[in-house]
Structure 1
Amino acid sequence: MSLRLSTVILPIHRWHEGSRDRWKRAEELGFYAAYTYDHLSWRTFRDGPWFGAVPTLTAAATATERLRLGTLVTSPNFRHPVTLAKELISLDDVSGGRITLGIGAGGNGFDATALGQEAWTPKERADRFGEFLPLLDRLLTEDAVTQHGTHYSAHEVRNVPGCVQRPRLPFAVAATGPRGLKLAAQYGQAWVTTGDPRLYEEGTPEQSVEAIRSQFEKLGKACADKGRDMTELDKILLTGFTPDRSRPLESLDAFVDFAGRHQELGFTEIVIHWPIADSDFAADQAVFEEIATEATAQLR
C-alpha cells in the first residue's frame, strides 16, 4: 500500500475568517484526510479561540466533497458514548460516509477536569476507555442498546438508521499501553501513535524510531492474541511530537527522508499539522503545500 498523507487543522479560526478556506484547500492539495483535535482547549492555545470538533467537522463536510474527515483524537475526558454516537451518526450522514473517529483514553490535559471531576489516574483512564469503546461500538452498530456498566450505561438507546459506512464508521485507536493496544486490535480499523512522549524533550530521532518499532511489535502481539491479522489495521503517525518534530516540514527532502524511515516501520498514513505561525506548529506554507503535492509520489 502506498503511503497516505493527511493533515490536521486545529479549530482556532472562525469559520468565515479562514477556517473554511483551510478545509477546502486541504482537499485541493490532495490530502487523503483532514482531522481536527477534539478538545475543549489545548496547551498554548488555551487562552485563544478554540471551536468544537463536531460542529467544525460538520461544516467541513459541507464545504468538501472527497476529503475524509475525522478527530485526532476524541476521548472520554468530556464525552459520553450515548451522546457521542448520535453526533457521529449524524456527522457520517452529513459527510456521505467520510468520517473516521480517532479515539483514545485521554490524558491530563486542560479538559481532563473541565466537568469538575478530579483528573483520572492512568488506571482510571484505562478502565473507563475499556468500557467506553465497546459501548460506542454497540451504539454505532445496533438499532437499540441497553447496557449497564461501572462508568457508562445506556438504557433503550435508539440509533436508527446507523452509520452510512457499514457496519459503522472506522475507529482509529490511539494507544501505546497493553490495554489500549488490545482495544485497538479488537475494535480498530486503524492504530494511531505520536511516538514515545518520554523522548519528546531529550530523545534522538534514532531512539524515537526504535521506540515506535517496539510499539509495532506490541501491536502485533495484541493482534495475534485477538486472532487478528495486523495488516488489516491502518497505522497512522500523528507528527509533531517526536524529537525531530519540526525538521520534517523544513523542506520536501527532509520530509521525504522522515516519512520514508517511518514508512519502513509499517505506517500507512502520516499526518502533518497545518502551519500555525508563532506556535509549535509554525512552518512555511509554501513548503507545506509542496510536501502535500509532491511527497507521496517520491515515496512510492
Structure 2
Amino acid sequence: MTLRLSTVILPVDRWHEGGRARWQRAEDLGFHTAYTYDHLSWRSFRDGPWFGALPTLTAAATATERLRLGTLVTSPNFRHPVTLAKELISLDDVSGGRVTLGIGAGGSGFDATALGQDAWTPRERADRFGEFVPLLDRLLTEDAVSQRGDFYSAEEARNIPGCVQRPRIPFAVAATGPRGLRLAARYGQAWVTTGDPKLYETGTPEQSVEALRGQVEKLGAACAGEGRDVADLDKILLTGFTPDRTRPLDSVGAFVDFAGRHRELGFTEIVVHWPIPDSDFAADQGVFEKIASEAPAQLG
C-alpha cells in the first residue's frame, strides 16, 4: 500500500514575508497535500498573527501548480454551508481542482464562542454536524438547493457551475464517535483522526497504536452499515497529537518507523506539521525536509 506524506502549514506568516515561499517549498519537496487549520485563532498562537484559511489557500493555489490543498479541519463553529459552498467552489476553480475539504464537528476552543454564542455541548455539535455535512454535500453537487433544517437552511442557493472536481470536491471527515463515523462512511472520500486525546499526556506509543486500531475497526463497521467497503476511504492521520508528539520528526529513520507502524493499521496518508520555532510544532527544518525528500521512497 502506498503511503502518502502531507503537511500542515499554519497561517501564521504574512504572505509576502515567508508565507508564499513556504507553500512553494512544500510543492518542491513533493508533499501530496498541504493543509491549513480553518480556525479564527488557535491555542498558543492566539495572541500572534493568524490569517484566514480560505484566502490563504486561494493564494497558495495561485503560487503552486501540482500540490493539493485543503483544510484540517473546517467546522460549523463559525461556518455556514451556503457561504462555505460558494467559497469552496471558487477555490476549487482557482486551483484547477486541487482542493480537499477536511471537515469536523468542531471543538470547545476559541472558535466556539467568537461569534458571541455559548459553546455548544458535544451533543449539540454532533447534531449540527449531522445537518451541516448533508446540506454542504447537496450545495456542492446541485445547481440550486432549497432546504429547511433545524440549524441550517438554504433558499434557492445557486452554485453554478459547480466544482471542477466531479461530482464535488472530496470530503475528509474527522470523526471518532459513532455519529461522525457514520457521516464519514456516507459522505467521505477520506477519514481523519488525530488519535485518542486521552492518551496524549500519559499514554504510550503502543497504547496509541491500539487505540487507532480500534478507531479503524469502528470505521469499518460504520462503512459496513452504509453498504460501503472501508477500503474505498483514504485514512489520514494528523500527527502531533499522539504520545509520540514530534519524535517521529527526529530523524528519517524515526519517521519511517512511525509511518510504517501506522500504515499497517490501514492509514494511507500521514500529515506532519511544518516546523514553527518556539511552539508545539518546533522541529529541525533540515531534518523535516530530509524526511519529506527521503522517507516516501523508503516506505514504498
TM-score (norm 2): 1.00
Q: Which amino acid aligns with 1:148?
A: R
- CA distance in structure 2 between the partners assigned to 1:85 and 1:244 by the alignment: 36
Which residue pairs with 2:64 in the alignment? Answer: 64
Which residue pairs with 2:149 in the alignment? Answer: 149
Which residue pairs with 1:265 in the alignment? Answer: 265
Q: Which amino acid aligns with 1:49?
A: P
Which residue pairs with 2:127 in the alignment? Answer: 127
- CA distance in structure 2 between the partners assigned to 1:109 and 1:66 by the alignment: 33
Which residue pairs with 2:200 in the alignment? Answer: 200
Q: Which amino acid aligns with 2:250?
A: E
Q: Which amino acid aligns with 1:79?
A: R
Deviations 1:237-278 (A, max 9, x none): 000000011110011110011000001000000000000000
Which residue pairs with 2:23 in the alignment? Answer: 23
Which residue pairs with 1:236 in the alignment? Answer: 236
Aligned-partner SS, 1:243:
coil
- CA distance in structure 2 between the partners assigned to 1:126 and 1:218 by the alignment: 17
- CA distance in structure 2 between the partners assigned to 1:159 and 1:247 by the alignment: 44
Which residue pairs with 1:40 in the alignment? Answer: 40
- CA distance in structure 2 between the partners assigned to 1:159 and 1:114 by the alignment: 28
Which residue pairs with 1:158 in the alignment? Answer: 158
- CA distance in structure 2 between the partners assigned to 1:73 and 1:246 by the alignment: 20
Which residue pairs with 2:96 in the alignment? Answer: 96
Aligned-partner SS, 2:77:
coil
Q: Which amino acid aligns with 2:136?
A: L
Q: Which amino acid aligns with 2:114?
A: A
- CA distance in structure 2 between the partners assigned to 1:233 and 1:127 by the alignment: 23
Aligned-partner SS, 2:264:
helix
Q: Which amino acid aligns with 2:241?
A: F
- CA distance in structure 1 between the partners assigned to 2:232 and 2:282 by the alignment: 34
- CA distance in structure 1 between the partners assigned to 2:156 and 2:259 by the alignment: 46
Which residue pairs with 2:73 in the alignment? Answer: 73
List runs of 5+ in structure 1 lacking aligned partners. none
Q: Which amino acid aligns with 2:184?
A: A
Q: State the Cα distance separating 1:206 from its structure 2 match.
A: 0.4
Which residue pairs with 1:254 in the alignment? Answer: 254
Q: Which amino acid aligns with 1:25?
A: R
Which residue pairs with 2:292 in the alignment? Answer: 292
Which residue pairs with 2:118 in the alignment? Answer: 118
Q: State the Cα distance separating 1:7 from its structure 2 match.
A: 0.3
Aligned-partner SS, 1:73:
strand
- CA distance in structure 1 between the partners assigned to 2:293 and 2:264 by the alignment: 21
List runs of 5+ in structure 2 lacking aligned partners. none
Q: Which amino acid aligns with 1:299?
A: L
Deviations 1:151-190 (A, max 9, x none): 0000000000000000000000000000000000000000
- CA distance in structure 2 between the partners assigned to 1:45 and 1:286 by the alignment: 23
Deviations 1:187-244 (A, max 9, x none): 0000000000010000000000000000001000000000001000000000000001
- CA distance in structure 2 between the partners assigned to 1:299 and 1:149 by the alignment: 46
- CA distance in structure 2 between the partners assigned to 1:98 and 1:168 by the alignment: 11
- CA distance in structure 1 between the partners assigned to 2:59 and 2:109 by the alignment: 26
Q: State the Cα distance separating 1:109 from its structure 2 match.
A: 1.0
- CA distance in structure 2 between the partners assigned to 1:295 and 1:264 by the alignment: 16
Aligned-partner SS, 2:78:
coil
Q: Which amino acid aligns with 2:56?
A: T
Aligned length: 300
Q: Which amino acid aligns with 2:127?
A: D
Aligned-partner SS, 2:119:
coil
- CA distance in structure 1 between the partners assigned to 2:22 and 2:236 by the alignment: 22
Q: State the Cα distance separating 1:116 from its structure 2 match.
A: 0.4
